[in-house]
Amino acid sequence: MKIKRLSILALIFSLTVCLFACGNAQKDSSSEEEAEAAETSDDANNDTRENGDIYILFTSDVHCGANQGFGYAGLKEIKDNLEAQGYAVILVDNGDSIQGESIGMLTEGESVIEIMNETGYDLWTPGNHEFDYGMEQFFKLVDMADFKVISCNFNKEGELLYSPYAVLEAAGKKIGFVGVTTPTTFVSSTPDNFKNEEGEFIYGFLQDKSGELLYEAVQSAVDSARAEGAEYVYLMAHLGMLAKDAPWTYADVIEHTNGIDVVLDGHSHDTEQVVMKNKDGEDVVRSACGTKLGAIGYSHISAEEGIVDTNILTWNNKVSMPELIGIDNPVNSKIESEMEDLNATLDTVIATAEVELTIFDPTETDSNGKPIRMVRRSETNAADFCADAYKVATGADIVLINGGGVRANIEKGEVTYGDVLSIAPFNNQLALIEATGQQILDALEFGVKDVPSEFGGFLQVSGLTYEFDVNIPSGCVVDETGMLTEINGERRVKNVLVGGEPIDPEKTYKVGGFDYILTKNGDGNTAFNGATVINERIKTDSQALIEYIQGDLEGIIGTGYEDPYGEGRIVVLQG
């Protein structure tokens, strides 16, 4: 029964996440007949008086975690719960929804869009990974969506492709939403996707190095929303807080604009709740909700007091909410339907892991007690394993792969197809090129430019070893799009050995790895421009891993990968 199910949810929330809805519930229990109507109604809103308040629910960086954390089914339950209590609810997403796990990769995002449709989203701002399956597929996904796409900076040859903002009316109030997509998309997705057939860049994200073009676009959209009668303005941002993304972080945008009440942010997977001053010295709230539906953001607009609270609900249980409490709603049914055929394949056991392959530091944790991801700044055994597999698949002298392309652990025990697709979810193509030793040196130098901070373009290796000194300032220079243009001064990278011999800058080597890095300037790495392409589409990364496991390793992952910090291929010099 509906009432019983809501009461169970309230109990779960009170014990785990301090659900805001329970504290603010305005239930009308004046008669047993009304309760009966609420239980049997197909649409709770038909039997509930609006109370004049609004809740904006927001998600970000779900990365295909459809049934993790709260899950889309849990999110739908919260949305329905609030509406049943008389609140108007607007549901928005700030990007990076369709990529990250097999359900996204194997359907190129289509299953995720269908699930989001069922959940009842109103607005969506694309994130950088929305473009990973190519522009044709991106536009197909937009056409599939029942919700509106907004972005004030995604453009084709200078013309915006979507509305920069939307003004929605709820509970008698007009609320403006402005979308903004990180300009780092240009290099953090696949740069080649943004070119025409002649190899010219035609898509962009206002990625000028000053940030002014982005600030102006945001301000113009905010002003337009206000002029259209918006009483409140929310920035739906996929910007994040990483220093390396300056001048395009959420803080940069707030400091250079006015008229924004709240920034609903994503991209950096954090859960920071911040209040800071805009360019006029007025307070702006910034809220982020992490990743994989481990948190859901909300902003409460009171009928009498305006915006009274913006924060997040968190789900800290290892078991997802839908699984823990047995949620049965149309969203859960949709997810189960999408996953049914997929799971039969994904659950097939293909190997045994005698060791854990990890992308995280096995001992250190961050301030929140969560493991520290090290694959984007130092060697790990998971990255060694992947690089070795790709070396076999390509027949290269050396393999270079970006740490951002190694996405998950493989736990000890049985290894399934799903495990392999989790560690390599992008369906990257493996390529083989001929490059000079100098190009390899330049690529390695670019890869370590941000250490000790994370960088998705940090290069993991096979067939090669190197050292780098974090005390030397990086001499890498990038243009306004984030592309490497030159390297100045003393270099961080030292003592590079290929097959145990010092690398020869004049010699030509066969280099294997993702086409993303070798031929498409992924992460802004232009070091291999002009290199001879031998084969650009050998096979997919996941196919190479499966063949390596079943063939070369004979179904046993163990020997050579025992140390979580790897074999010593990459040495960090810290003085």
Which pLDDT does position 49 carry in this prediction? 62
Query: HEC profile for 407-470?
Result: CCCECCEEEEHHHHHHHCCCCCEEEEEEEEHHHHHHHHHHHCCCCCCCCCCCEEEECEEEEEEC
CA torsion angle 250 252 256 258 (round to 10): 20
Give the angle 302-305-310 at the CA atoms, nearest 5°: 60
Query: Which residue, among 69, 479, 18, 459, has the nearest Cα to 269 in the 3D structure?
Result: 69
Which residue type sits at 135?
A: M
* Structural tokens at position 258: 């006015």
Query: Which residue, among 291, 256, 296, has the nearest Cα to 276 in the 3D structure?
Result: 256
Contacts of 274 by beta carbon, 8 Å cutoff, 6+ apart: 285, 286, 287
CA torsion angle 99 101 103 108 (round to 10): 30
Beta bridge partners of 357: 410
297-328 as b/e: b if 16+ CB within 10 A? bbbbbeeeeebeebbbbbbeeeebbbeebebe
d(CA 57, CA 465) in angstroms, rounded, equals 48
Give the angle 185-427-118 at the CA atoms, nearest 5°: 75
CA 176 to chain centre: 25
d(CA 470, CA 450) in angstroms, rounded, equals 9
* Structural tokens at position 320: 């997802």
Q: Which residue has the tokens 């329970």?
A: 22
Cβ atoms of 566 and 380 closer than 8 Å: yes
Helix axes 135-144 and 110-119, enclosed angle (nearest 10): 20
Cα separation values, 185 from 95, 192, 194, 461, 482, Å: 11, 12, 10, 25, 10
Query: Which residue, among 437, 573, 565, 567, has the nearest Cα to 501 in the 3D structure?
Result: 437
Cβ atoms of 277 and 288 closer than 8 Å: no
* Structural tokens at position 293: 């539906």
Cis check for the bond before 322: say yes or no (omega within 30 of 0).
no
d(CA 364, CA 551) in angstroms, rounded, equals 34
Which pLDDT does position 429 carry in this prediction? 86
Which pLDDT does position 36 carry in this prediction? 43
* Structural tokens at position 244: 């390396």
CA 361 to chain centre: 20
DSSP of 90-112, one letter per residue? EEEE-S--S-SSHHHHTTTTHHH
Coil, strand or helix at 154: coil
Cis check for the bond before 247: say yes or no (omega within 30 of 0).
yes
The mean pLDDT values, 10 residues at a time, for the chain of 575 residues are 35 41 36 40 47 96 94 96 95 94 84 96 96 92 98 96 98 97 86 87 93 98 98 98 92 98 96 97 97 96 96 93 93 90 84 96 84 94 97 96 95 94 87 97 97 95 97 95 94 96 97 94 95 87 92 95 96 87
Beta bridge partners of 181: 238
d(CA 520, CA 187) in angstroms, rounded, equals 9
Contacts of 346 by beta carbon, 8 Å cutoff, 6+ apart: 102, 416, 417, 418, 421
Say what the pTM is: 0.71
Query: Which residue, among 514, 546, 566, 565, has the nearest Cα to 389 in the 3D structure?
Result: 546
Phi, psi of 573 (to 5 degrees): -95, 120
Beta bridge partners of 89: 55
The DSSP output letter for 357 is B
Beta bridge partners of 166: 177
* Structural tokens at position 403: 């740490």
